[in-house]
Amino acid sequence: MLPDLKKWQQDGKNAVLLACLQRDLKKLKNIKYHYLRKENSLYNFLVKYGLVSDDTSSFLWGIEDEIRTMVKNTAALLEKDPLPDKYVIEAKVEKVASAVMEMIFKENTIFLPILSIILTPDDWYMVKQDELEVGYCLIKQPPSWHPSDEERDEFKWEQNNGGQLNSETRSAYRKFLKRYRQPENRVYADTPVEPLRGDESYPVGNEDNSPDLVLKNVGDMTLKLEIGSLSLKEIPAIFNVLPIDLTFVNKYDRVKWFSNSDRTFPRTRSVIGRPVIRCHPPRSIDKVMEILQDFHQGLADSEDFWVDVHGRTIYLCFYAVRDKDDNYLGCLEVVQDITRFKDITGQKTLENKDQFEKRYHDQKK
């Protein structure tokens, strides 16, 4: 990107070089997938192993939000007609490049080396599964991988022979992050917040509580429900075919479960057990807390929103879940793509469904 910038900046009129620079920034916008993998997966393990607080993980997310915004705004700047002054463009592109490269340096010298020591092979397998959910930046999907018994044994041997982080290293890491968060070093200014109902004993990123937990030898085990009954095999199968994305946050405001259907927004296994406010960008935390607080206090039973995502209309609704005695059990988030519903006209019935299906297939052609 920088070589293309320098070539174009010489006269600021070469259309071919401008197109190259626009293409470079368009590709760089995909860095959002790299940051999403960190925010929705890797940061969870820093919290799990006590290297950062939940508040610090939100601060780090905020820095990456700032970089994402810089990339997006700079890419939009190069699409303007007429273009701004070439020196303005040069300054903006160089600032973006500097922010991205600084983050890469910190990842390679601080973040990833620490993770390579503390994460178990099974932790890395969960990270691998999370990556499939989020996607990749500037690379094709890597080959599949599953930890072998040899890799697990090698990790245990390293841990038993001085491969663990000692208390001094952990302390130095936390001190570094504390200095990093000082005002003069901040890219993003955040306000420390705490989970509404923190339960420190709740497992964070525990694979035994992950969404793909399978109960062995369930046979024909059936649960009697308020109306009728369902087997333990039928329940997840029903959730999986629903054309909606469901997430349940328990009464402690921690993510307890999400459905395994197609998702509009990424949901990674390692967020199970985390405070739900840490699964949102820092700019949204106060709004999420306000909704949950109203649910806890019985001031509201639902909140709904709709947003545009890549040309699709996405409807989001949050419901307070209560038992028959009105005790708060948690929050159910329901996400649905309603784009096709906006254009529905007439009536489709059993008698005329063939003509609707023919029209649908003709439109696809």
Chain segment 237-293, per-residue pLDDT in tens: 888 888 899 999 999 899 998 888 777 787 788 888 888 888 888 888 888 989 999
CATH 1.20.120.520 assigned to 1-192: yes
CA distance 320 to 295: 6
Chain segment 170-190, per-residue pLDDT in tens: 777 777 666 665 544 444 333
Q: What is the torsional sign of CA 252, 254, 255, 257?
A: negative
Q: Note whether 1-192 and 194-365 share their fold.
A: no
Residue 338 identity (one-letter amino acid): I
CA distance 285 to 275: 11
Chain segment 20-32, per-residue pLDDT in tens: 888 999 999 999 9
The structural domains of the chain, with segments of one domain joined by +, span 1-192, 194-365
Chain segment 34-59, per-residue pLDDT in tens: 999 998 889 888 888 888 887 888 88
Topology (CATH level 3) of domain 194-365:
Beta-Lactamase (3.30.450)
Q: What is the torsional sign of CA 152, 154, 155, 161?
A: positive
Position with higher pLDDT, 311 vs 265: 311
pTM of the model: 0.66
Tokens representing 16 are 């071919």
Report the candidate in 225, 231, 260 with the shortest Cα–Cα distance to residue 246: 260
* Ramachandran quadrant class, 66 (left: phi over 0; alpha: psi -120 to 50; beta: rest): alpha
Chain segment 60-102, per-residue pLDDT in tens: 888 899 999 999 999 999 998 888 888 888 889 999 999 999 9
